[in-house]
Amino acid sequence: MSRYIFRRLLMLVPVVLGVALFIFAVMDFTPGDPAVMILGEGATEAEYAALHVKLGLNDPLLVRYARYIWNALHGDFGVSYRTGLPVFQEIASRLPYTFVLAVVSTIIAVTIGLPVGVFSAVKQYSLSDNFALGCALLLTSMPTFWLAMMLVLGFSMKMRWLPAMGVAGWKNFVLPAIATASSSTASLLRMTRSTMLEVIRQDYIRTARAKGAKESRVIFDHALRNALLPVVTLIGVNFGVALGGTIVIEQVFAIPGLGQLMVNAIRTKDTPMVIASLLFTAVIASLINLLVDILYAYIDPRLRAKFTVAKRRKVSA
Amino acid sequence: MTAENAQKISVENRLRQYKKKSQMRTIWNRLKKNRLAIFGLALFLVMLAVVSTADIYYNYEQDAIAQHLSLRFKGPGQTAGHPLGTDQYGRDVLARVIYGGRISMFVGLATICVSLSLGSLIGATAAYYGGKVDNILMRIMDVFLAIPNILMAITLVAAFGTSLLNLILAMGLAGTPKMSRIVRSSVLSIIGTDYIEAARAYGTSDMRIIFRHILPNAMGPILVQATQTVARSVITVSSLSFIGLGISEPTPEWGAMLSAAKSQLRYHPYLAISPGIAIVMVVVSLTLLGDGLRDAMDPRLKN
């Protein structure tokens, strides 16, 4: 098992380096001179040139990339062009909001989407199945920020139950979490339903029923466990989507998270900030994906077996 | 001579009849029976027709752009000629929603053209040549897949700048990795078949085999993914505009309209309703169509 985790972690390294190179290269195209951003329009040519040398901007792209990675490995993600403060500090202060929002919304999505999906599959074509599917269709078809606005309209402005913006307390996170969770709940529901429907028709389910197993045992032990692989994978993918989604949701609720930081950085062409915040999001998304995969390999004896067999073969060879 | 001709025609007819039983035809026949899918298709076509003929009943400059400050914040049904009311500059909301649909649908369809052509090229090349080519291309795609789609679009927009063309490019490129994966797996399922072997034995060029023989037959899953991608793009472009990285005022775009409506939410909530419903309608229609297509391609899945 630890070998599997190690190998997966190792596979993450080129992905992260690739993501960093991509973001770095793309940001290189961004128009605007960092020296002008820092010194303002009024400085002399010589001052600009001196700063170019100081920041190492005259080096080729790959040299700057390698230096960036080297510094990043030492915890130095550069200095914001706008504020002059270390980028890492700012990101670290804002990341918790975004991360918590993504985690909570993923939990909401799993606790609602999974059971309702199973129920829908078991009661296929019933009234409640159709109702659940209809809701799921509507939820996936809504932009999350619009749902967020409607929630604010209903629960903050009309009912006055929950605050519309800010981060004063846990109440402030209820609506954002629901809005962020909406589309992943719906996609999880649809995925659970369709894989369950496929599994329910397998021979081993008929066998289990023929043996006289209780219906709940057939559904939860025999069917659900086998239907779980694509569903669990989707949970990992959805976490990344939720991370991206919070960027938009944060704008609605004025949450000072990573998304707001990123959008502001893009608007002001604060390149070090943009690179670092994108990099952090991508790395977190990949790490969660990895975590989900590992968790799954841990749960699923088939995957575990596959791995131990591979190891044994290597020993004999 | 005439007899010969007649025989030739009858053979052609028979061939045509035979051809009619093509994959696309069977899929369409199955799709026709799916009421929800047909409803989605019809809804989408109607909306497409409405937005593309908008110039007949609206004047873009006059109705969607020009400000009429005497007509600010008229609610739906309050004034004649403005069924959905007017916004903070006195512009007709319905006209702006319709012209906004033009942008959203155009961006959605143009985006899929970008990711479809690039994704097909990469995916088909990877699957067809296999081995090292496949490995390298797919590892590169893995890197891009690690970045959530909307983040990727945001990155590219940040680099290119916000114009309509850049938005399409950014979103098209952002959708390419997923598309190339789907094309690849779809092509892989075709590549071992006898008719590809036959085409190869015949000495057909690689490019011709890929584009003439493989891709048309691998179209099923690709088409399903394409409809879903168009639907997603409509949401993504509105999200980008909403956070101010897409299309901005005064151009009517659903996300930009909702962004403007956000500050009026307390006193003029109707401004936030109609653009949102428009988005939902487009996305629902495409999702229904996509689901129907998927079931029609593979009836086994429908259970």
Beta carbons of A142 and B281 less than 8 angstroms apart: no
> Chain B contact for A138, CB < 8 A?
yes
The average pLDDT across A244-260 equals 87
> Are A9 and A46 part of one and the same domain?
yes
Does B29 fall in a domain?
no
> Are A173 and A256 part of one and the same domain?
yes
CB contact under 8 A, B279 and A142: yes
ipTM of the complex: 0.84
Does B48 fall in a domain?
no
Q: For A56, what's the count of Cα atoms within 13 Å in the CB-facing half-sphere?
A: 11
Residue predicted with more confidence, B213 or B113: B113
> Are A128 and A41 part of one and the same domain?
no
CB contact under 8 A, A141 and B265: no
Does B159 fall in a domain?
yes
State yes or no: pLDDT of A110 exceeds 80: yes
State yes or no: pLDDT of B301 exceeds 60: no
> Are A292 and A158 part of one and the same domain?
yes
Number of domains chain B is built from: 1
Does A249 fall in a domain?
yes
> Are A57 and A202 part of one and the same domain?
no
> Are A67 and A187 part of one and the same domain?
no
Does A167 fall in a domain?
yes
Does B20 fall in a domain?
no
Q: Write out residues 201-260 of A within 8 Å (CB-CB) of B.
A: 201, 240-241, 243-245, 247-248, 251-252, 259
The CATH number that applies at residue B277 is: 1.10.3720.10
Q: Which of A149, A159, A252, A260 to mutate to test the interface with B (most CBs of B within 10 A)?
A: A149
Does B46 fall in a domain?
no
> Are A130 and A8 part of one and the same domain?
no
Q: How far is B83 from chain A (nearest CA, A)?
A: 21
State yes or no: pLDDT of B303 exceeds 60: no
The average pLDDT across B204-233 equals 86
B251 burial level (CB within 10 Å; 0-12, 13-18, 19+): middle
Q: How far is A260 from chain B (nearest CA, A)?
A: 9
Instruction: Give the helix/strand (H/E) hosting B230.
Output: helix B219-242
Does A78 fall in a domain?
no
The average pLDDT across B89-114 equals 90
> Chain B contact for A153, CB < 8 A?
yes
Position A110: which residue type?
V
Residue B289: strand, helix, or coil: helix
> Are A6 and A59 part of one and the same domain?
yes
Does A269 fall in a domain?
yes
CB contact under 8 A, A146 and B161: no
Does A190 fall in a domain?
yes
pLDDT given at position A312: 52
**How far apart are alpha carbons A159 and B65 in whole angstroms?**
35
The average pLDDT across B126-146 equals 87
Beta carbons of A41 and A26 less than 8 angstroms apart: no
State yes or no: pLDDT of A167 exceeds 80: no
Radius of gyration for the alpha carbons in chain B, expressed in angstroms and rounded: 24
Residue predicted with more confidence, B302 or A22: A22
Q: Which residues are bridge partners to A79 per DSSP?
A: A86
Give the relative orientation of helices B254-262 and B219-242 as an angle to the nearest 10 degrees: 30
State yes or no: pLDDT of A311 exceeds 70: no
Nearest-Cα residue of chain B relative to residue A265: B158
Does B84 fall in a domain?
yes
The average pLDDT across A260-280 equals 85
Does B38 fall in a domain?
no
CB contact under 8 A, B279 and A143: yes
Does A31 fall in a domain?
yes
Mean pLDDT, rounded, of chain A: 84
Does A268 fall in a domain?
yes
Helices then strands, each counted (H, E), chain B: 14, 0
Phi, then psi, of A86 in degrees rounded to 5: -60, 135
Residue B209: strand, helix, or coil: helix
State yes or no: pLDDT of B19 exceeds 60: no
State yes or no: pLDDT of A271 exceeds 50: yes
Beta carbons of B191 and B213 less than 8 angstroms apart: no
State yes or no: pLDDT of A87 exceeds 80: yes
> Are A118 and A48 part of one and the same domain?
no
CB contact under 8 A, B158 and A252: no
Query: Band of the pLDDT at A46, cuts 50, 70, 90?
Result: confident
State yes or no: pLDDT of B31 exceeds 80: yes
State yes or no: pLDDT of B266 exceeds 90: no
Residue A166: C-alpha distances to residues A159, A180, B86 (Å): 18, 16, 30
Q: How far is B236 from chain A (nearest CA, A)?
A: 8
Does A79 fall in a domain?
no
Range of the domain at A116: 97-316
pLDDT given at position B15: 64
3-state secondary structure labels for all residues of A103-135: HHHHHHHHHHHHHHHHHHHHCCCCHHHHHHHHH
CB contact under 8 A, B151 and A282: yes
The average pLDDT across B251-262 equals 90
Residue predicted with more confidence, B19 or A32: A32
Q: Any idea which residue has 């109705």 for tokens?
A: B63
> Are A55 and A192 part of one and the same domain?
no
> Are A57 and A129 part of one and the same domain?
no
Q: What angle do CA B20, B26, B30 make, to 5 degrees?
A: 145
Nearest-Cα residue of chain A relative to residue B279: A142
CB contact under 8 A, B287 and A141: yes
Phi, then psi, of B88 in degrees rounded to 5: -65, -10
Residue predicted with more confidence, A137 or A298: A137
The CATH number that applies at residue A293 is: 1.10.3720.10
> Are A180 and A222 part of one and the same domain?
yes
Asked whether the whole model's pTM tops 0.90, one would answer: no
Residue A48: C-alpha distances to residues A24, A27, A63, A85, A256 (Å): 22, 20, 21, 20, 33
Least confident of A89-103, A146-160, A238-252, B58-72: B58-72
Number of domains chain A is built from: 2
Residue predicted with more confidence, A21 or B7: A21
**How far apart are alpha carbons A231 and A110 in whole angstroms?**
10
CB contact under 8 A, B150 and A281: no
pLDDT given at position A317: 41
**How far apart are alpha carbons A311 and A317 in whole angstroms?**
10
Mean pLDDT, rounded, of chain B: 85
Range of the domain at B165: 54-301
Does B31 fall in a domain?
no
Beta carbons of A213 and A270 less than 8 angstroms apart: no
Q: Any idea which residue has 């190891």 for tokens?
A: A311
What does the block give as tokens for A114? 């999974």
